[in-house]
Structure 1
Amino acid sequence: MRMGSRACALAVLLGAGLGGARSEEVATTRSVFFVGGHYVGAQDAQVMDGAMYVERIAPARPTHPLPLVFFHGAGQTATNWLTTPDGRRGWADEFARLGYVVYLVDQPARGRSAYHPGLDGPLRAFTAPALESTFTATESLGTWPRAKAHTQWPGTGERRGRRGDPVFDAFYASQVEYLASNADTQRLVQAAGAALLDRIGPAILVTHSQAGPFGWLLADARPALVRAIVALEPSGPPFEEAIRSTGPARAWGLADIPLTYDPPAAQAADLRTAREERAEGPDLVPCRLQAAPARRLPRLAGIPVAVVTSESSYHAGYDHCTVAYLKQAGVDVTFKRLEDEGIRGNGHMMMMELNNLDITRSIDRWLGSIAP
């Protein structure tokens, strides 16, 4: 479905009413299409399930040979990347300015990707108080050690980051219901994401939060087509929850559904684990990793990975475990703690925060460092 082949402006679509702020215009072409999906149901009443919405934004003169494919996290849609809740330039626009072709998706059964009751399973949603305490007002409501360092959420006044502040309200208005089952979500995205890569060719994946497993699963399914992965605070740590909750999770280490290991693991229980006796440092959790000898992830071998973690997010306490697991499995991974680069005060929703463009430039520099 073509939305227009002429040059057009990537302008603010959300939040433009907040003080009249608008993104700087960028000459692009834009198109929309769908990938994946299959017909299900009785012959005379079939519907298409599992299809995924994709939006392509291309600068007039791309300067990078590989496109970026962005996968949003839980409760979000592709609008995450288009703008910020206070109407500043979003990552899609900025990476187009930097010369990349950009693909944005809505996960299957979410947003503009059709959800079918009775086929796609139960839904859940974030409450406004949960977002305040987890993402936007953590300096006062967060309960993990580094939460108080959060300074970059936009807004002003005593209600900044909370209900009643126009920026928070614009952010919460963008939230949508999402599938309750992580495993079902990962299966749907792996199938539709593989179809997308088959269509567009080699690409760099950018994943955020709940979408973290998608990067590993798509590299597993299409290793020749995934050339790099930028994992923004990916779902973790391996095998269990930490910081905000406890209990088993991600039975396959990095995902809830099977990954290819060497030696092979026929079932998740084949992955023997051991917890570190002590954490690597203050404010960090001890990691549960593979017991020696560790199985490797052969289809991720040779694919450069950057795990990007902000200073004050709850992920700051455990993303090092995901990095350690990837290294243990033979993956070429770089751990980018933003504060080590002088990018301070960010929370989990870094792509929307006041210094969001500083982070895009950091990612762009890393991508330049791995270019052949």
Structure 2
Amino acid sequence: MKMIASILLRGFTSARGLVASNYSSCVGTKAVSAECSSREIPIARDYFYVGGQYVYESAYSSSIYSDQIYVEKLSPPQGASQSSPLLFVNAGVPSGAAWLNTPDGRQGWASYFVEQGYLVYIVDITSVGRSSQDEKAIYPMKIASTVEITENDYTAPELIVPYPQAVNHTQWPGNGTKGDPYFDAFMAAMIPLTSNSTAQELSMKLAGCTLLSMIGEPTYIVSHSAGATYPLLMSDRCPDLIKGSINLEPGNTPFQNLVGNSTVSAVGRSSARACGLSATLLGYDPPITNCSQLETIVIGSDTPGNRSCYMQTSPARQLPNIAKVPYVALTGAASPHITYDHCTIDYLNQAGVATDWIKLGDIGIEGNGHFLYLEKNSLEIAAVVDRWIREH
């Protein structure tokens, strides 16, 4: 669909994106006050609904529109100076709004990259936020995160040290626990998402490639956590529309979910993504018609600081379309992902996909956890992404 609205904003009017001279009264959700001002830059904003189709609903004897994604287009007021647009994709917890501001009111990544001259697109993935929600009538929505998960895995792992690297986590604003205004603002953004990952992947693949074709220029996709599944699905379907795939702590670990927890705990490891990097079929060569055709083997000794991985047995099936798109992952030095992101990198390499892996600690950027694009040094990390884009 074409443009519905266009306005000039001073940032996103979120409680988390505003600050004032009287800082103590403008923290967390208090910053929604009209007295608080913004650190975001002037941005020309348009919004769209893209993709989807009409679906007949027998209960209403009529059709609805389903599987569309909400898209925000953020433009430099004087026009883009960079030739390649950026598409930001989140995991759904929180929604795409998290790219706009930080919980403590610092400049978000959207403003940073618009300021560098990029045309920026932000989506809410299907069945999250402002995107299509109709299937929740059939599939229940699942909880986004509990206080314990958020504290232990995202904002304050240093308090319980579930993996050795957690002691070095220093970059979350505030103390990272319930009752801190920045934590509470972050937790309030954790909205429910669909429990039907298969339908979500299929709809995102179609709507995502539709959006990329409408943008009209090869685009870099920037994803976070489980959102890293969607650039791979799009790369598999429409690789020629993608300039590069940039993944912050990719949360699509092959065949399993891992958290920074005891390796003997059922919570620490669970089966996931039967097709390796996704729950739905990818274009493997030789082809498969069912995920069960992928044969796997466990590689490595499993320790809290270095988790074991599921890999394909040899000879490994290849992913030729995904291999056409340059791929980079960024991992924080104090995140649980530093213990297992090697699984994703090794699996992609085994499937013929060349990758870059930027371990932030190796380039002198220390102390980051899983939500590194919201942490205190977030713009330093944004500059690393900007540099990788310009080099490619």
**TM-score, normalisation: structure 2:** 0.88
Aligned ranges for residues 218-367 of structure 1 at < 5 Å?
218-243=234-259, 244=261, 245-278=268-301, 283-367=305-389
Instruction: Answer whether contact 1:22 1:87 (CA < 8 A) is retained.
Output: no
Alpha-carbon displacement from aligned partner over 1:251-300 (angstroms, at most 9, x marks no partner): 11111101001111222122221222447x98211222111111111001
Distance 1:90 1:22 in 2: 15
Deviation at 1:142, TM superposition (A): 4.5
Distance 1:12 1:3 in 2: 16
Instruction: Answer whether contact 1:231 1:306 (CA < 8 A) is retained.
Output: yes
Letter in 1 for 2:187: Y
Instruction: Answer whether contact 1:134 1:142 (CA < 8 A) is retained.
Output: no
Instruction: Answer whether contact 2:92 2:124 (CA < 8 A) is retained.
Output: no
SS across alignment from 2:324? coil
SS across alignment from 2:66? strand
Distance 1:296 1:171 in 2: 39
Distance 2:163 2:120 in 1: 34
SS across alignment from 1:340? helix
Distance 1:117 1:269 in 2: 26
Distance 1:140 1:90 in 2: 27
SS across alignment from 1:224? helix
The residue aligned with 1:88 is 106
Distance 2:376 2:13 in 1: 16
Deviation at 1:181, TM superposition (A): 2.8
Letter in 2 for 1:152: Q
Letter in 2 for 1:322: T
Letter in 2 for 1:114: S
- Unmatched segments (≥5 aa) in structure 2: 19-25, 262-267
SS across alignment from 2:246? strand
| RMSD across aligned positions (CA) | 2.0
Aligned ranges for residues 1-372 of structure 1 at < 5 Å?
1-4=3-6, 7-10=8-11, 13-15=14-16, 16=18, 17-18=26-27, 23-40=38-55, 41-42=57-58, 44-59=61-76, 60-116=78-134, 119=137, 121-125=139-143, 126-155=145-174, 160-201=175-216, 202-243=218-259, 244=261, 245-278=268-301, 283-370=305-392
Distance 2:362 2:343 in 1: 18
SS across alignment from 1:351? helix
Q: Which runs of 4+ in 1 moved over 3 A?
A: 19-25, 42-45, 117-120
- Unmatched segments (≥5 aa) in structure 1: none
Alpha-carbon displacement from aligned partner over 1:174-209 (angstroms, at most 9, x marks no partner): 110011232222122112112211211321111111
Distance 1:85 1:13 in 2: 9
Deviation at 1:129, TM superposition (A): 2.4
Deviation at 1:215, TM superposition (A): 1.0
1:298/1:117 CA distance change after superposition, 3 Å: closer
**TM-score, normalisation: structure 1:** 0.92
Distance 2:73 2:281 in 1: 30
Instruction: Answer whether contact 1:14 1:84 (CA < 8 A) is retained.
Output: no
SS across alignment from 1:4? strand
Deviation at 1:351, TM superposition (A): 1.1
Distance 1:343 1:177 in 2: 32
Letter in 2 for 1:32: Y
Distance 1:167 1:35 in 2: 33
Instruction: Answer whether contact 2:92 2:125 (CA < 8 A) is retained.
Output: no
Distance 2:325 2:65 in 1: 33
Q: For this pair of structures, how many residues does the alignment match?
A: 364
> Alignment identity in percent?
36
Instruction: Answer whether contact 2:10 2:38 (CA < 8 A) is retained.
Output: no
